């Protein structure tokens, strides 16, 4: 990787960490029996999707402001069910634990939980079981 943003980091968390997390996570999502069909039907260009998601997570976790999209409108047309969020978050947590420095796992998973909560709310799934955010594990 090259460019100005590569050195962006927040307490040692780098854009490269996030790119690795996004790439590994979406490898799992694409193969997942529950999430794979939803994502594979929705996404035509996986490399571009992964670049966009790396920009999104860099904006969230590092403050790079490199993401310009609208997550709510991007998710609205798809057949997303409330149980997909639990599966998404469990895969995200497992992948974060594999690829991130241990001191950043809870923070990045905390962001994912808040984002999932916002999406569930915005997609009208909040009244369904499992729509409240799970607590972070005790350190």
Q: Which domain holds residue 115?
A: 12-122
**pLDDT of res. 127:** 61
Q: What is the DSSP letter of 22?
A: H
- Does a structural domain hold residue 131? no
The answer to whether residue 37 is domain-embedded is yes
Is the pLDDT score of 58 beyond 50?
Answer: yes
Please report, for the domain that includes residue 107, its CATH number.
Answer: 1.10.490.10
| pTM, full prediction | 0.81
Total tally of structural domains belonging to the chain: 1
CB 100 within 8 A of CB 13: yes
First to last CA, the chain: 33
Domain membership of residue 128 (yes or no) is: no
Longest dimension (CA), the chain: 45
Q: How is residue 4 annotated by DSSP?
A: G
pLDDT at 7 over 90: no
CB 71 within 8 A of CB 115: yes
Contacts of 52 (CB under 8 A, 6+ apart): 67, 69
User: According to the model, what pLDDT value does residue 138 have?
Assistant: 42
* Residue 136 falls inside a structural domain: no
Instruction: Tell me, yes or no, whether 4 lies in a domain.
Output: no
> Is the pLDDT assigned to residue 8 strictly greater than 90?
no
The encoded tokens of residue 15 equal 């854009």
Tokens of 65: 């402001």
138 Rama class: left (phi>0) / alpha (psi -120 to 50) / beta: beta
Distance from C-alpha of 136 to C-alpha of 114, rounded to nearest angstrom: 11
pLDDT bucket at 9, cuts 50 / 70 / 90: low
- Residue-level pLDDT at 116: 92
Residue 43 lies in a domain: yes
In a domain, 74, yes or no: yes
- Average pLDDT taken over every residue of the chain: 86
**pLDDT tens digits along 74-119:** 889 999 888 899 999 999 999 999 999 999 999 999 999 999 999 9
């Amino acid at each position: 990787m090259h460019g100005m943003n590569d050195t962006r980091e927040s307490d040692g968390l780098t854009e490269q960490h996030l790119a690795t997390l996004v790439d590994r996570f979406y490898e799992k999502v694409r193969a997942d029996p529950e999430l794979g069909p939803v994502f594979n039907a929705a996404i035509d260009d996986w490399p571009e999707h992964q670049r966009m998601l790396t920009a999104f997570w860099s904006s969230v976790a590092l403050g790079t402001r490199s993401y310009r999209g609208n997550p709510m409108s991007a998710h609205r047309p798809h057949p997303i069910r409330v149980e997909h969020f639990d599966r998404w978050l469990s895969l995200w947590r497992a992948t974060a634990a594999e690829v991130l420095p241990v001191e950043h796992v809870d923070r990045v998973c905390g962001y994912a939980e808040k984002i999932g909560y916002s999406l569930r709310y915005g997609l009208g799934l909040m009244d369904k079981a499992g729509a409240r955010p799970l607590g972070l594990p005790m350190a």
